[in-house]
Structure 1
């Protein structure tokens, strides 16, 4: 399939079974005009056979699936794959639905446990049995096991809910329309990025759009950590050396990479982003390095430029670099050292002028020690390094960020009262900025439903995100002797400070959040108290 221009619509095939297929169909109309979407109601080997047969005469740009079915396809079909990822809000909704059907609930997830599971189990006060599976046989076994334990409702993937229904249990799908929306957005973005590279003419935004997209102003926040980050981006942006960005999931690594590009002399060139964990290993090599005609069965006539070549003159952002296979790490090292790329099937290298920015949430030094990441590539990437702080370490930025996300979600003018701010600051934010943005979208939905809604209070906040209550204590009520007025004028009672520190195990960040002041203010009061 050949797109006529960068505004053409990509073709996306969703691959799923039973209830997830219906959910895909429910969401698909929202993307009319943006993509051609078709749902394939098959799973596992049946889906592989069907897709391979169709690809002989048809083409699609990206496959979209979920759970064990998605992982199965990902390793057997040479097409980019986007997997639907449930978040904490999905889990909360599915557990609520399950609770309506049974007193005892089971949840079955593919692979590892969901990070938010323990918090939700505590928040709901439910006896929830949790199991994981890695293949179809394990899935059948754990469904039977939970049924024998008396679980009347099973929360899980589409495949799990199908097995639960067959066993006479209530199968509850763990995915929400919101998570499907996010996956479609990712699939469309990935398709357009790959198309730009294949066409040999990467799409470039207008200068005003590019300035906005790659501006330092997008790194919002007034905390010391954020101010230092913007300064670091300014300095590193002027250099042409390789940068390694580290940080937890959801801390905004791609946003920082875009800001580095915008602060560099390459700002007028392309910015090409590749998620090394989102493209199947068998496909990643040809996507990155390109290939010549006849390099392998099914290769396009005339060959194709890879993403590294497409980024020449600009910046190549390699997200989740720790997921790159060892064989491709060797080839990437050659690109960095020789500034040339060798297409698959070719013996003639092509010169490239590209700056590489890599990012990872995995500790590359540990992967290097275990032999899972090349030591020489690690040192070649780790020239300039930016370590992004998690959101809990820059809690003073949270109200500002939330206001920004609320405006972007169309919530209209809204203020955040002091108890709500204290609760937000005390939360751990395991999903970091991404989790905060999702919260803003939930609040925006509530704001539209209860319009006019001009203030975010703590009760409303906990209605939208009950998981926050399990990790943050209620802010202390102002004492009747007027200490709240003293606090507003910049003074705190030493006894109040001592009690807050005791309640939070000496953690100054949490104590400051509970007192409704910044950590710097708390430190200043502690210093004044200890002064002779």
Structure 2
């Protein structure tokens, strides 16, 4: 068992090679030679490492190398790609034959013999009926899943008088072992397209901030910053739900007010799931509808004016093998809700401008601070998509509903951000425990960040008066009795239903010094929704 080095490694290395994405190609048989012909065209855009192995051997070697080396994307073809997809911790881009590849391969095979057998993996099913009819070709098509299936297909075709095999590298190997000539289905163009796809995938993951070994924070800091803390019964129930739901592939709907930690729940669901792909997040309310479709589903070259050469990988494909987190799912436009439903039901994605879908293995976790049931009743959200997303549900409490956790959270964020225990005097701590927390845990974290800048480590105890001087919102947002807060079902998150009048909106803005984030949190809506409301007051 060996790993071959790229044939072009004798070239002078690019001085910026350390910043290039890293692509590993995995192949056996004829595909190895085809990859070797194309790799030199991309060696200035990526660091490419060929691994000439397949299946179990490839998985073992790649797993060992990933412990000491970095890889952004793996490229493989046919059954090898299907086998590796669910067994690797890095994204995989398959080499896929297109219609021109098929026509060219069948034309070459026809020059060898009239009776042609086409053998493809089950995930690679080209459309060739019209071509076969137009050119009067005698073609028998078989699909295989395992190596044994491929061997049986070839043997059966040979017994039925097939004279030449068109197919994947594995199919051709089996054909030649029984004395049949073989024609490789893939072309240099299909390999080039796979490299372009892989390069685009690395750019997409970098754009959405998906973690990569080269960009990871130190383990302790990252884990601490993503911790879901709290000793309250409500938070223990949330952690129990995460542990129960994480191993399953069912979609999860996370509900809660702004700043309660919905993305943290999604990350913990992913981290405990055992899924090997990436965690990819998208805020559905932060991107205009015209751009959201391409961002989520990707597009092909020439799909619309301005579409980049080679197309673009969408976030659904970028999350293949992992988890796609869709925040503010209630803001997703109705036409895109239909497309998302197809992804969930068919496990495939159709890029904008494409005619053939791409299979994906992705788990979707959606989050909302709105009441989706009311959106369904208002015909702003598809009922069937709502039921599909809400297969499993996790409801997050507001910080107001678990104020006993405030001291623990303060201690955590002071240690995380300032590297010191909390310097708060007893009166200052009590004031924060009594605070209404309209922005929930996110607001608490931001307050601690501000305090640690104004009150450097070593300055002693931080008094109530000093704290209030740097946190003026403590005066503008009054405390609320615990009984009153507890009487509100679902806390702040349930007060999101109706749009206040223009005068009320303006008064809230004035009361909070124009701070839209605080006003949105108080109303239980996203900042995008508040912005839309405010814009309508001027129209």
Q: Does structure 1 conserve the Cα–Cα contact (< 8 Å) formed by 2:234 and 2:397?
A: yes
2:262 to 253, 256, 261: 253
Deviation at 1:460, TM superposition (A): 2.5
1:239 to 242, 248, 257: 248
Alignment pair present for 1:280 and 2:288:
yes
2:364 to 352, 356, 361: 356
Deviation at 1:270, TM superposition (A): 0.4
**Aligned equivalent of 1:394:** 402
* CA shift digits 1:370-401 (9 cap, x unpaired): 01111111111011111110111111111111
1:410 to 406, 418, 425: 418
Secondary structure at the aligned position of 1:358 is classed as: strand
**Aligned equivalent of 1:436:** 444
> 2: distance between equivalents of 1:6 and 1:380?
44
Deviation at 1:426, TM superposition (A): 1.3
1:374 to 358, 382, 393: 382
Q: Does structure 1 conserve the Cα–Cα contact (< 8 Å) formed by 2:455 and 2:462?
A: no
Q: Does structure 2 conserve the Cα–Cα contact (< 8 Å) formed by 1:399 and 1:421?
A: yes
Q: Specify whether residues 347 and 509 from structure 1 end up closer, same or farther in structure 2 by C-alpha distance, changes over 3 A only.
A: closer
Q: Aligned runs of 1:220-231 on 2, under 5 Å?
A: 220-231=229-240
Deviation at 1:407, TM superposition (A): 2.6
Q: Does structure 1 conserve the Cα–Cα contact (< 8 Å) formed by 2:322 and 2:363?
A: yes
Q: Does structure 1 conserve the Cα–Cα contact (< 8 Å) formed by 2:256 and 2:369?
A: yes
Q: Does structure 2 conserve the Cα–Cα contact (< 8 Å) formed by 1:261 and 1:271?
A: yes
**Aligned equivalent of 1:334:** 342
1:307 to 294, 310, 315: 315
Q: Aligned runs of 1:33-52 on 2, under 5 Å?
A: none
**Aligned equivalent of 1:461:** 467
Q: Aligned runs of 1:16-27 on 2, under 5 Å?
A: none
Deviation at 1:452, TM superposition (A): 3.0
**Aligned equivalent of 1:317:** 325
**Aligned equivalent of 2:107:** none
The answer to which of 458-467 and 329-338 deviates more is: 458-467
* CA shift digits 1:342-387 (9 cap, x unpaired): 0111110110000000011111111111011111111110111111
Q: Specify whether residues 505 and 249 from structure 1 end up closer, same or farther in structure 2 by C-alpha distance, changes over 3 A only.
A: closer
2:274 to 265, 269, 274: 265
The answer to which of 232-241 and 206-215 deviates more is: 206-215
**Aligned equivalent of 1:13:** none
> 2: distance between equivalents of 1:239 and 1:211?
27
Secondary structure at the aligned position of 1:218 is classed as: coil
Q: Does structure 2 conserve the Cα–Cα contact (< 8 Å) formed by 1:406 and 1:443?
A: no
| Structure number, greater radius of gyration | 2
Secondary structure at the aligned position of 1:386 is classed as: strand
Deviation at 1:294, TM superposition (A): 1.0
Deviation at 1:416, TM superposition (A): 3.1
Secondary structure at the aligned position of 1:222 is classed as: coil
Q: Does structure 2 conserve the Cα–Cα contact (< 8 Å) formed by 1:285 and 1:328?
A: yes
Secondary structure at the aligned position of 2:418 is classed as: coil
* CA shift digits 1:28-80 (9 cap, x unpaired): xxxxxxxxxxxxxxxxxxxxxxxxxxxxxxxxxxxxxxxxxxxxxxxxxxxxx
Q: Does structure 2 conserve the Cα–Cα contact (< 8 Å) formed by 1:246 and 1:388?
A: yes
Alignment pair present for 1:365 and 2:373:
yes
2:227 to 218, 227, 233: 218
> 2: distance between equivalents of 1:201 and 1:468?
33
Q: Specify whether residues 253 and 344 from structure 1 end up closer, same or farther in structure 2 by C-alpha distance, changes over 3 A only.
A: same
Secondary structure at the aligned position of 1:272 is classed as: strand
Q: Does structure 1 conserve the Cα–Cα contact (< 8 Å) formed by 2:253 and 2:366?
A: yes
**Aligned equivalent of 1:420:** 428
Structure 2: which 5+ residue stretches go unaligned? Answer: 1-15, 22-199, 488-539
Q: Aligned runs of 1:147-162 on 2, under 5 Å?
A: none
Secondary structure at the aligned position of 1:244 is classed as: strand
Q: Aligned runs of 1:106-121 on 2, under 5 Å?
A: none
Deviation at 1:408, TM superposition (A): 2.8
> 1: distance between equivalents of 2:363 and 2:466?
46
1:343 to 328, 342, 351: 351
> 2: distance between equivalents of 1:360 and 1:200?
20
Aligned length: 293
Secondary structure at the aligned position of 1:399 is classed as: helix
Q: Does structure 2 conserve the Cα–Cα contact (< 8 Å) formed by 1:276 and 1:319?
A: yes
> 2: distance between equivalents of 1:214 and 1:324?
30
* CA shift digits 1:217-255 (9 cap, x unpaired): 711111111122111111111211100011111111111
Q: Does structure 2 conserve the Cα–Cα contact (< 8 Å) formed by 1:414 and 1:453?
A: no
Q: Specify whether residues 440 and 208 from structure 1 end up closer, same or farther in structure 2 by C-alpha distance, changes over 3 A only.
A: closer
Q: Does structure 2 conserve the Cα–Cα contact (< 8 Å) formed by 1:320 and 1:359?
A: yes
Alignment pair present for 1:196 and 2:209:
no
> 2: distance between equivalents of 1:427 and 1:467?
10
